[in-house]
Structure 1
Amino acid sequence: MKTVFVNLYFVANPDGSWVLIDTGVPGSATKIKQAAEEIFGKDNRPQAILLTHGHFDHTGAAKELAEEWKAPIYAHPLELPYLTGLSSYPPPDSSVGGGAMAYMAFTYPKKPINLKDKIKVLPNDGSVPGLQGWRWLHTPGHSPGHVSFYKDEDRTLIVGDAFCTCHAESAISVFSNKREVHGPPAYFTPDWGSAHHSVEKLNDLNPEVAASGHGMPMRGSELKSQLDRLVHDFWMVAVPKHGRYVHEPAVMDESGVVSVPPPVSNPVPKVLAVAGAVAAAGLAWAAFSNRKNSSQQKHASQNRPYSHNRVMQGTPPGIDPNQDDPQAHTNNYP
């Protein structure tokens, strides 16, 4: 189910029990409950709510649905700071991506939500609560505790935002339903090195079907060829040329955000960005009807340097003990 610009998934077992993966944007609870009743019956509540990660467009209805259904919510432990009110996510970077969805990123909620009395940690053994034959994989980069879900039997993969099947920065692409493999949403990805490794991990599964948080599900040879290319050319086609996190990732741990790189200037004025985004959303469907098939993201110049000096995940954070309190976490990012 698509809620405005992001997908959530109903996943069933052979016996009719089911789980919900992600919960859409805020205000989606009624729509989700109605769909669940139509699919599974009035009194068939989910075994669990599973979160690929805690960004606002994936957790919008989580609290309301958990209370309504008396269902536990599961997430990776590294997502807990953002789901228990402890820490904000790193600030989005609206200077990257070049589309209306990216330009509007400065308006997107980044404050934590508090699901403290409802949230549980995914099992260490990789099993998925409420689902038979599935396993979860840690796929960080877009967020520190991002996970994807995989069913070995038929090679079905639910990827969250580890990669997208549309150009997530573009409003026209998001609303047009054209299937095309792209990297994770650039404006909300604070660790590109980890994001690359996660895409490699998912490609190694050789999925037959991939269902992402943004874009239509893809399958077969089209999926395989485009995913292979994304892995091979990741630093050319997925990573922005310039941006806040391109050469230095945000540093995060089990307590939340430790440090973030300084912001970069955005050449697009915010007022103009919002106006353009609204206009783009209104014209998206009309544009799609006359839109020619576009090619995959074009390669940047082959002379573009790679970012070998970036701090990779797992590297001790650069904290000066004489100046910084490593236990001090703030929600007041710019």
Structure 2
Amino acid sequence: MDLVDVLPNRLHMLRFPIGQAYLWRDGEALTLVDAGHAGSAAEIEGAIRSLGLLPEHLRRIVLTHCHRDHVGAAGELAARWGASVFAHRLDAPVVRGERPVPEPVLLEWEIPLYEHGLTVPEAPPTRVDRELEDGDALEFGDGAYVVHAPGHTDGSIGIHLPRHGVLFAGDCIAAVGPPMLGVFNVDRGQAVESFRRLAGLAPSVGCFGHGDPLTVDTASVLADAAAGAA
């Protein structure tokens, strides 16, 4: 796992072989956006300690959606350090193991990529302490807001920190190369509309489930990419 500074003393990316998570700091209080794959809890704790921070100050884990490379270590971290786990109402039953992970409608070129992603261990059933809805306010980042962004999964969300210009887009947007619509969607039309909605927030920092964060000309780059998505 690689630890990458995005905003010094505020925001860090934890990059795994497949996917990534983000650590937000409000002083000593910590928020994790997504949680890597199953078995990565020790690496995440080590990354936190390497920053001079304490895992016991992890207050919440916000899941952008129900896929295994985002949920994996959430339950273990929450059980160990008392953090609360948040997920959208529509994905929460999948996170808890009550419903199967929804199957995406794959384009032909996505099939080998999807099979590669399945090499990540399955996420264990994980408790959800708070089910989220569009527009919900979260107590971190000087005011964070939930943006329902369905299409990748029914309960996919973005998290917007307007006072800092930060957007966590989950897998609605990918940035492995120029930003583009994320892959493996259950409803591509919905995903395109969600991409446009998230881009319309005009963030100055874009954080994605796959690919490097975008910190230069972010709003215009995302607006152009969203306009061309189909």
Instruction: Tell me whether the two structures share a fold, i.e. TM-score over 0.5.
Output: yes
Question: Could you say which residue in structure 1 is the equivalent of 2:227?
Answer: 232
Q: Secondary structure of the residue that 1:135 maps to in structure 2?
A: strand
Question: Could you say which residue in structure 2 is the equivalent of 1:114?
Answer: 125
The question of whether the paired residues in 1 share the 8 Å contact of 2:28 and 2:57 is answered with no
Q: Secondary structure of the residue that 1:160 maps to in structure 2?
A: coil
The question of whether the paired residues in 2 share the 8 Å contact of 1:24 and 1:58 is answered with yes
Q: Decide which of 128, 139, 158 is 2:149's aligned counterpart.
A: 139
Question: Could you say which residue in structure 2 is the equivalent of 1:60?
Answer: 72
Shift of 1:180: 1.6
Q: Secondary structure of the residue that 2:203 maps to in structure 1?
A: coil
Q: Matches of 2:33 and 2:89 in 1, distance apart?
A: 17
Match status 1:7 vs 2:5:
no
Q: Secondary structure of the residue that 2:154 maps to in structure 1?
A: coil
Match status 1:217 vs 2:213:
yes
RMSD: 2.4
Output the TM-score relative to the length of structure 1: 0.59
Shift of 1:220: 2.7
Shift of 1:23: 0.6
Q: Matches of 1:231 and 1:38 in 2, distance apart?
A: 37
1:63 partner amino acid: G
The question of whether the paired residues in 2 share the 8 Å contact of 1:51 and 1:74 is answered with yes
Q: Matches of 1:199 and 1:48 in 2, distance apart?
A: 25
Paired residues for 1:305-320 under 5 Å: none
The question of whether the paired residues in 2 share the 8 Å contact of 1:93 and 1:106 is answered with no
Deviations 1:137-183 (CA, angstroms, capped at 9, x unpaired)? 111110111111111123111111110111xxxxxxxxxxxx42011
**Structure 2 regions of 5+ residues with no counterpart?**
1-13
Deviations 1:189-245 (CA, angstroms, capped at 9, x unpaired)? 111111111111111111111010100001232x3443223222211xxxxxxxxxx
Larger radius of gyration: 1
Aligned positions, number = 217
Shift of 1:78: 0.5
Structure (1 or 2) with the greater strand fraction: 2
Q: Matches of 1:132 and 1:140 in 2, distance apart?
A: 25
Q: Matches of 1:95 and 1:123 in 2, distance apart?
A: 29
**Structure 1 regions of 5+ residues with no counterpart?**
167-178, 236-334
The question of whether the paired residues in 2 share the 8 Å contact of 1:82 and 1:113 is answered with no
Shift of 1:100: 4.4
The question of whether the paired residues in 2 share the 8 Å contact of 1:158 and 1:212 is answered with yes
The question of whether the paired residues in 2 share the 8 Å contact of 1:26 and 1:61 is answered with yes
Q: Matches of 1:77 and 1:136 in 2, distance apart?
A: 12
Deviations 1:113-156 (CA, angstroms, capped at 9, x unpaired)? 4224x532136752114443221111111011111111112311
Q: Matches of 1:57 and 1:33 in 2, distance apart?
A: 17
The question of whether the paired residues in 2 share the 8 Å contact of 1:19 and 1:48 is answered with yes
